[in-house]
């Protein structure tokens, strides 16, 4: 009896540990994260919010070293967030039109044009693990735009479901970023998996406000 109880406990414990560390859709979440970093930077959004200079402008100048250190401290403790719904949806009609227009772009390789065509044909929704994405970014990720005391919002990101090639080494995805009532952009991201990391190789702008 003791052996059975111990075995059941071990199985449950291992199940909890594995569930804690395995993202829902790792490739999808890695693609979304790569696009966020490309669009906002891992900390450039915080840098923009605080109106700070890029490090390249002062990090090699000894006279500004103290200022640089204080900026890094601010970035490490910044209380700002982005809104990223934990459900990815198919393209709407307007986005399908944007993608169809991008397919005609001669600089896009045919293998990615096929994926873009597939992007217009999705119908289902997919959940993503925001906790997994949060670990990579320096600012907070929220699933909705509820009010948070003493926390500033950078913007609202809305991703569609990405499409991959069979080997899952190439991907395309559509992003809408809203930074205000009359502020935002739309982008089609084209990515490749290099050294086990998703890299944005082309950002095709579709709209800007």
- The pLDDT profile of the chain, 209 residues, written as one tens digit per residue, is 555 544 444 444 444 434 444 446 899 999 999 998 888 765 545 555 555 555 555 556 666 666 666 656 655 555 567 889 999 999 999 999 999 999 998 788 999 999 999 999 988 899 999 988 888 876 778 887 665 555 667 788 999 999 999 999 999 999 999 887 788 899 999 999 999 999 999 999 999 88
Contact 80, 45 (CB under 8 A): yes
Which of 39, 40, 42, 35 shows the shortest CA–CA distance to 190? 35
Distances (CA, A) of 120 to 16, 113, 165, 171: 37, 11, 15, 14
Which tokens in the block code for residue 84?
């990223």
CA angle (154, 158, 163) in 5-degree steps: 135
Helix ranges (DSSP H) in the chain? 2-21, 26-40, 44-49, 65-76, 93-103, 110-119, 130-134
Dist. CA 60–CA 29, nearest whole Å: 35
- pLDDT (0 to 100) of residue 14: 45
Beta-strand pair 80-83/152-159? parallel
**Quick one: how far is CA 157 from the chain centroid?**
8
């Amino acid at each position: 009896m003791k052996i059975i109880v111990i075995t059941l406990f071990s199985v449950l414990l291992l199940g909890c540990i594995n569930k804690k560390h395995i993202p829902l859709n790792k490739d999808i979440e890695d693609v979304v994260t790569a696009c966020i970093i490309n669009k906002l930077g891992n900390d450039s959004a915080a840098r923009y919010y605080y109106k700070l200079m890029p490090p390249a402008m002062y990090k090699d100048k000894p006279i500004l070293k103290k200022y640089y250190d204080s900026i890094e401290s601010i970035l490490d403790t910044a209380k700002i967030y982005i809104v990223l719904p934990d459900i990815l949806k198919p393209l709407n009609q307007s986005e399908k039109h944007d993608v169809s227009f991008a397919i005609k772009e001669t600089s896009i390789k045919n293998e990615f044009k096929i994926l873009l065509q597939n992007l217009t044909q999705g119908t289902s929704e997919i959940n993503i693990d925001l906790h997994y994405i949060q670990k990579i970014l320096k600012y907070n990720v929220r699933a909705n735009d509820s009010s948070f005391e003493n926390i500033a919002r950078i913007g609202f990101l809305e991703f569609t479901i990405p499409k991959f090639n069979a080997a899952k080494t190439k991907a395309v995805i559509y992003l809408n970023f809203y930074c205000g009532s009359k502020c935002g952009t739309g982008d089609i991201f084209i990515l490749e998996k290099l050294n086990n990391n998703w890299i944005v190789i082309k950002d095709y702008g579709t709209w800007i406000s």
